[in-house]
Chains A and B, each alone.
Chain A
Amino acid sequence: MTKPAATSEPYTTVIGLEVHVQLQTNTKLFCGCSTKFGAPPNTQVCPVCLGLPGSLPVMNREAFQLAMKAALALECRIAPFTKWDRKNYFYPDLPKGYQISQFDLPFSSDGWLEVVDPKGAFARKVGIIRVHLEEDAGKSMHDEAAGTADTRIDLNRAGTPLCEIVTQPDLRSPQEARAWLNELKLLLVYLGVSDCNMQEGSLRVDANVNLHIQRPDGSVAKTPIVEIKNMNSFRSVERALTYEAARQYDEWQATGAELGKIPKQTRGWDDPAGVTRAQRHKEESSDYRYFPDPDLVPVTVSEAQIATVKASMGEPPTVLRTTLAERWKISAYDADVLVNQGRELVAYFEDLATRVGEGKVASNWLQQDVLRTLNERGEAIEAFPIRPDALADLIGRVQRGDFDTSRGREIFAAVLASGRSVADVVASLGIAAVGDDELIALCKQLIAENPKIVADVQGGKEQAAAGLIGQAKKKNPNVNPAKVRQTCVDLIKAM
């Protein structure tokens, strides 16, 4: 189901994305060097990834498995026979002088991933042209401030396994693009394929964008496609696309240049300045002279292998949202929030909901109290000290009426701060259920002290009794506010 994005611009923005994700393997694609992020330069290199004479690549089985998972989750067709090709070009971060990639026979193709805005602003099914596997290049660093004429090359990253995901130009707004990227990230994180961390470079995005402009006579003018690079976050992607669409429209109005008349341009996003800038036009169009890599043998994939991989994948986020909502009778919105937090939080939720016996309550506590705490502390749910059994205990007491929700929150905070059990904290706070007689006595006291409120209630304004709750709590913090209000109303009516 695809809904067109509502737009007030006089054009349609047409966006395709090219995403590179680093696969979460222990070692590189063709050698046994570690892929851990942040190591000192040139400490995770060997003859293979350095491209030393005589070195040979051998494919990492786990990388291929993860790539297959990603492709299957993106509903792609897996090729029964796939091969590896050399993409030949010279650059100092590419020590062999070629990148091992896939050219005409990628291991997967023809899939899709849908993004649905939970607030209903858009729904877009984005086609995936291909997903292929290739090795990453190293890093070149130029320190202009140091004023040297050299560029420094660190080859730690060279050889890291990358999945390249190329979409059809199906996206129709910068907002859709950002949302789709979030959905892709969520999916790949769920699968354990990649941690999709743009800051650490494990996810990189380039965007291709042009405009379809409706002319007064009904014909459509198409602007030349621009490739945008150097976007460092999903927010940058949205900002860059927004800027570029407006820029292309201005340019079209000024020059009328159309698709096909000028070559595809590459522009870099300058985040601080908030603009895209044309990059230096290369003196030769790249002739990569692709040919099958003779050092690697082809890979065959059987239906049985595909089935095994599928069986190991677990539910993807889209399915999980529906499953959770139906199973626990929570809203689509709530399901979305929980699923977006990741597999571990969903597991926590389901454990909690099972114990509590109800989904909505569990969801509320998770969203309002647990998530808030996790965000404040920058922690992951796995490290959260209050486990589902303890939280279920606390919620159970609230449900039983031992104390109200707001009291429950205080206990929650105290448990978090002290590390003591719920029972301990309850006892130490002197929380005990207030017996009926005690409650009645208290209410009678309040009634005696508040003739105006009594008069209001007697005059028909029952809600005025709520004004007694605060006073009741001051006398005895353990009272249940609802019970106080009801008891007072009953007593006043009986007067």
Chain B
Amino acid sequence: MQPAELSAVDLVAAIRQGDLTAVQCIEAFLDRVARLDGSINAFLKVDREGALATAAAIDARRKAGQPLGALAGLPVAVKDALCTRDLPTTCASKMLAGFRPPYDADTVARLRAADAVIVGKTNMDEFAMGGSNENSAFGPVKNPWDLSRAPGGSSGGSAACVAADMAPVAIGSDTGGSIRQPAGLCGITGLKPTYGRVSRRGLVAFASSLDQIGPMARSAADCALVLETIAGHDPLDSTSLAVDVPRYTELLEQPLTGLRIGRVRDHYAEGLDPEVGKGVDEAFAVFEAAGATIHEVELPHAKYGVPTYYLIAPCEASSNLARYDGAHYGHRCDTLRGGFDSPLVEMYCRSRGEGFGPEVKRRIMLGTYALSAGYYDAYYAKALTVRRLIRQDYLDAFERVDLIGGPVSATPAFKLGEKTGDPLAMYLVDLYTVATNLAGVGGISFPCGFTKGGLPVGFQLQGPALAEPLLLRAADRFQRLTDWHLRRPKQIA
């Protein structure tokens, strides 16, 4: 059997049963990384030695009859926005090149405790700011379906990694769509849980009230497996929900009869690629045939989602990224040549000027401007009120339907370089995903078809707070009735 052809659920079962050793499993995937990642650039760091050592230890314990964690032997790639104690954590930025945090993110600790094997850190848009993974200081990630195209972002590396079977599961983070959109463009499944469902401790913060960590895998069932491990209350994260974690994997097997799925009258219909529209229509049809009913719903403030997001997120980011000043860690510019009020101010300005890429600087500037005296009310405070309206739209809609379905991206994967010249054009790739984060609810995206050109088309389901069981169940049922999620890109040379 080829480990790369197995689902995470099957891999874990095979290792537990002894049909496959953890070392064999890891070797198989690392082998693919070695062969394929040169063209894709999904990984910033591959930890061959550490992963094999961990796998060997798991095999030894299994042999000795000792108990193993729920993800024993499962290779996991982790977005480089999550702190790992033994591996550099760079957020794809020169600012943190080589930085080693002295602790693991809560998610990483839970994965390790479940005996998952962390094979490496994946590439991303710098500090999670971007929708194409072209904002990395270490080169863009290529879409495995078409290497001339972007995988989406900011979790582009994690998405490409799974799409190319370089790891069965990856961890991403989603602030305005950064799990769901790249999952959609790469033909895989990605879940952004309800805000607070997964601890943010150890996730390098971009926008604290919007960030969430989530699983990316080939299927909803695999996402459910990982979510069971990483979800849960963390008393060291004040925004973490003190709510029990359901056994997601056990809640998948339920029919969809009676499920009410909302369809939003699309404000962006003009910009929607017709092939994406077709894929979305067909997805609705699949759900209907499976017993769900489709209802028209309104999200009246949808068109304000992107501007609201592009105020709140940069404002929070401008503050979250103030700590990167070259004083206590990270990049410091040591060649001071004057021109500032003091050497200290010069050190700050040059270190940050050198360490951050253009998109990060843009957002810091935007956020600083919007929070500054005289502008706070018109911009940041205003955006917070619209946020409440957007959340209310969801609360109202979910009185009438259980889930809301629709596109995750207006277009399939776009060409590298296509949108990099226009920041606003890049911001608009988030138009179907930002509202989920603003409202704090959960969303999942999964493939629902392909374009004639062979590019994946993604479908998104959004649910009310803590509706992960329902989201996963619905996506899982879709994946039992279709096989889009099993398609793989042609072998990349």
Q: Using a CB–CB distance below 8 Å, which chain A residues touch chain B? A: 47, 50-59, 86, 88, 90, 92, 95-98, 149, 151, 153, 155, 283, 287, 289, 291, 294-297
Contacts and interface: CB of A to CB of B under 8 A. Distances in A.
Given A90-B348, A289-B368, A53 B323 contact: yes
A151 B105 CA distance: 32
A365 to B, nearest CB: 52
Contacts of B208: 294-295
Contacts of B201: 54-56
B248 interface: no
B376 A51 contact: no
A52 B235 contact: no
B204 interface: yes
Interface string B96-128: 100101110100000000000000000000000
Interface in B387-445: none
Given A90-B322, A95-B323, A291-B376, A56 B204 contact: no
Contact of A97 (B202, B235, B322, B373): B322
A366 B225 CA distance: 72
Interface stretch (B5-13, B16-24, B137-145, B236-244): B236-244
- For the complex of A and B, list the 6 residue pairs with the smallest distance between their C-beta atoms, beginning with the closest: A97-B322, A294-B208, A289-B371, A294-B209, A53-B204, A54-B202
A98 B327 CA distance: 14
Which of A54, A55, A95, A296: most chain B CB closer than 10 A? A54
Contacts of A54: 82-83, 89, 101, 105, 200-205
B475 interface: no
B258 to A, nearest CB: 35
A353 B483 CA distance: 90
Interface string B340-358: 0101110010000000000
Nearest to A92: B327
Contacts of A95: 323, 327-328
A52 B327 CA distance: 12
B268 interface: no
Contact of B237 (A58, A97, A153): A58
A294 B200 CA distance: 12
Contact of A53 (B96, B207, B235, B315): B96
Contacts of B322: 88, 90, 96-98
B325 interface: yes
A47 B238 contact: no
A149 B346 CA distance: 14
B236 A58 contact: yes
Contacts of A287: 372-373
B91 interface: yes
Nearest to B315: A291
Contact of A294 (B101, B316, B318, B348): B316
A96 B200 contact: no
Nearest to B90: A53
Contacts of A52: 83, 101-103, 329
21 contacts: A52-B83, A52-B329, A53-B204, A54-B89, A54-B200, A55-B201, A56-B238, A90-B322, A90-B325, A92-B327, A92-B328, A95-B323, A95-B327, A96-B323, A97-B319, A97-B321, A153-B327, A283-B341, A287-B372, A289-B368, A297-B238
A493 B237 CA distance: 91
Contacts of A155: 328
Contacts of A289: 318-319, 368, 371-373, 376
Which of A52, A56, A296: most chain B CB closer than 10 A? A56
Interface of A is mostly: loop
Contacts of B380: 291
A50 B330 CA distance: 13
A417 to B, nearest CB: 55
Interface string B219-259: 00000000000000001111100000000000000000000
A58 B203 CA distance: 16
A89 to B, nearest CB: 8
Contacts of B318: 88, 289
Contacts of A283: 341
Given A53-B204, A149-B343, A88 B101 contact: no
B319 A47 contact: no
Contacts of B204: 53-54
B138 to A, nearest CB: 17
Contacts of A297: 238-239
A55 B106 CA distance: 11
A317 B203 CA distance: 48
Contacts of A59: 238
Interface string B9-41: 000000000000000000000000000000000
B338 to A, nearest CB: 14
A53 B81 CA distance: 9
B200 A56 contact: yes
Given A53-B91, A95-B328, A295 B323 contact: no
Contacts of B89: 53-54
Nearest to B370: A289
Interface in B294-331: 315-316, 318-319, 321-323, 325, 327-329
B395 to A, nearest CB: 19
A296 B321 CA distance: 17
Contacts of A53: 83, 89, 91, 96, 99, 101, 204-205, 323
Nearest to B102: A47
Given A47-B101, A97-B322, A294-B208, A56 B237 contact: yes
A151 B238 CA distance: 34
A182 B341 CA distance: 40
Nearest to B349: A90
A404 B372 CA distance: 76
B103 A86 contact: no
Contacts of B376: 289, 291
Contact of B328 (A50, A56, A90): A50
B319 A88 contact: yes
A421 to B, nearest CB: 54
A291 B322 CA distance: 14
A289 B203 CA distance: 24
A82 to B, nearest CB: 14
A95 B235 CA distance: 23
Given A155-B328, A296-B238, 18 more contacts: A50-B328, A51-B328, A52-B329, A53-B91, A53-B205, A53-B323, A54-B89, A54-B101, A54-B202, A54-B205, A56-B201, A57-B238, A58-B236, A90-B345, A95-B323, A97-B323, A151-B344, A283-B341
A385 to B, nearest CB: 46
Nearest to B200: A56
A141 to B, nearest CB: 14
Contacts of B348: 90
Which of A53, A289, A297: most chain B CB closer than 10 A? A53
Contacts of B316: 291, 294
Nearest to A151: B344
Contacts of A55: 201
Contacts of B344: 92, 151
B410 to A, nearest CB: 29
Contact of B236 (A56, A88, A294): A56
Nearest to B343: A149
Contacts of B200: 54, 56
A287 B318 CA distance: 14
B325 to A, nearest CB: 6
Nearest to A52: B101
A54 B208 CA distance: 10
Contacts of A97: 319, 321-323, 325
A296 B368 CA distance: 20
B207 to A, nearest CB: 8
Contacts of B103: 47, 52
A287 B322 CA distance: 14
Contacts of B203: 54
Contacts of B321: 97
A158 to B, nearest CB: 10
Nearest to A149: B343
